[in-house]
Amino acid sequence: MLIRLQKILSSAGIASRRAAEQFITDERVTVNGETVTTLGSKADPDSDDIRVDGRRIKLAGQRRRYILLYKPRGYITTRSDPERRPTVVDLLAKGGVRDYVYPVGRLDFESEGLLLLTSDGDLAARLTHPRHGVEREYEVRVLGTPDEKGLERLRGGILIDGRRTAPAQVDVRTITPGGHAVLTVVIHEGRNREVRKMCEAIGHPVSRLRRVRIGPIRDPHIRPGEFRDLDEKEVAALKRATSGTPGPPPTRRPDLKVGPTRSTDPARNARGARPRQPSPSGRPRRG
């Protein structure tokens, strides 16, 4: 049966449909040895030889993987980087993950916090599309303290790169002894460096940004460099979040894994992150 190539790539866990379209236009996809560059081209996954960057894709028996990672500062949210900077996939590889997964959405080099990686292209596309309005919550420390007018500008939408941001939930969480505000910011879209640009626009640049929630998923126990697989309830909650169907948030705290590389942020390491020895079961202990 003939199916659009971008759907085949997404179902195989290679990339989201949007990213798969870019693979096609970048001439990275071949079908039976012929490079495909036309969006909307179709192929038969059962009989055609379909490859991305020379690697043949397989659909049969594909196991979907859903991983929650705490991305430390100093890592790139991508599978590979031409500048050879460390990537989030490097963290997974050092922790023993060999499945082909890719990041869902963005979290810039200097930011930290929760990041999903998956081989489920359809769910990734729904989570990142603004139409579904999946919330992302951030803890944001800024320079100085915004006044109420500045906070209202953030809540109502800021003009960035010629386009206004969607309304956001913004509250002052606390004020540091130095007079700098820590904000809670909840947005529903994932434009590049959106929260940072919003805060810069009102004259209060971000000094630290941490993502603490993705839709119904949060985990206050996971630490920089650690990751774990989502359980069935959490995956179901994510799917409900993209379909508009309400449901109770998942509460179980699954086991964590961690690779040898923790964080490249010396300031964070100096704050008392004690090295932990693996437990007899191979799971990290709490510090």
pLDDT of residue 207: 97
Report all structural domains of the chain as residue ranges with CATH numbers, in order of start. 3-56 (3.10.290.10), 66-130+218-265 (3.30.70.580), 135-214 (3.30.70.1560)
Which one from 48, 108, 229, 231 is the annotated catalytic residue?
108
- pLDDT tens by residue, the chain, 287 residues: 788 898 888 777 777 778 888 899 999 999 999 999 999 899 887 778 899 988 888 765 567 899 999 999 999 998 888 899 999 999 999 999 988 888 998 899 999 999 999 988 788 888 888 788 899 999 999 999 999 999 999 999 999 989 999 999 999 999 999 999 999 999 988 788 999 999 999 999 999 999 999 999 999 999 999 999 999 999 999 999 988 654 455 544 455 666 544 444 433 443 334 334 333 333 432 32
Whether 108 is catalytic is yes
Closest C-alpha among 52, 207, 215, 212 to residue 126: 215
pLDDT of residue 9: 86
